[in-house]
A and B are shown apart, each in its own frame.
Chain A
């Protein structure tokens, strides 16, 4: 299994430009999470999907951020327009959520390698 795949790994852009981050979850997983990590704020959940449906986007900072999951194997996080304060590492994670039972380990989240975004 290739694990969670993210692209690009590094992105440097200028303020005002549109940025699109991409994520391919682990095959068979039904939940996908987007996180942002900074020194000041730590790991923040931005949005998560279950079965391609956005469940909670309360962590999305503002309208400049949007996320989509058109199918089970692909998701995007878009920032338009980008600002210097958006500079961070953005992680995508996936899991298989099941109500199968309390003792299952099916909801472990597996993180992708991250995208380091720098907005100048």
Chain B
């Protein structure tokens, strides 16, 4: 089955600096890669996602890049702010073969990265 590795487990940056979190996946058939942000005591919330037919996607200060050949994808946060402090999770899944059942469509999460942005 799919396995997702996430690094680093903790990351501390100064406000205004950039932060990069990297994930690798094992199943070359995976084609959907979301990133979730979880603040302390809150639910995980989707912040950005990318599909395998795209190499990069940006949304204001957040960007995600995907290298299908190397099977890794990364989250980039620029101009970090204290409110970016949270745990970030990457995930991977494959879709498109739902009618055959099995585990297709479910997300496999990385272990998370605790990001601390110091003012």
Contact = CB atoms under 8 A, between A and B. Distances in A.
Nearest to A33: B106
B101 A102 contact: no
B95 A55 contact: no
A36 to B, nearest CB: 12
Q: Which 8 A-B pairs have the closest CB atoms?
A: A111-B43, A43-B109, A42-B111, A56-B103, A111-B44, A48-B106, A113-B43, A97-B105
Contacts of A111: 36, 43-45
Given A55-B101, A105-B49, A111-B45, A45 B96 contact: no
Contacts of B109: 42-43, 45
Interface of A: 31, 33, 42-43, 45, 48, 50, 55-56, 58, 91, 97, 99, 102-103, 105, 107-114
A111 B107 CA distance: 12
Nearest to B95: A107
Contacts of B108: 45
Contact of B103 (A55, A97, A105): A55
Given A97-B98, A99-B98, A109 B107 contact: yes
A25 B103 CA distance: 20
Contact of B43 (A31, A42, A107, A114): A114
A114 B53 CA distance: 33
Contact of A102 (B36, B45, B51, B93): B51
5 contacts: A42-B110, A102-B53, A105-B49, A108-B49, A112-B43
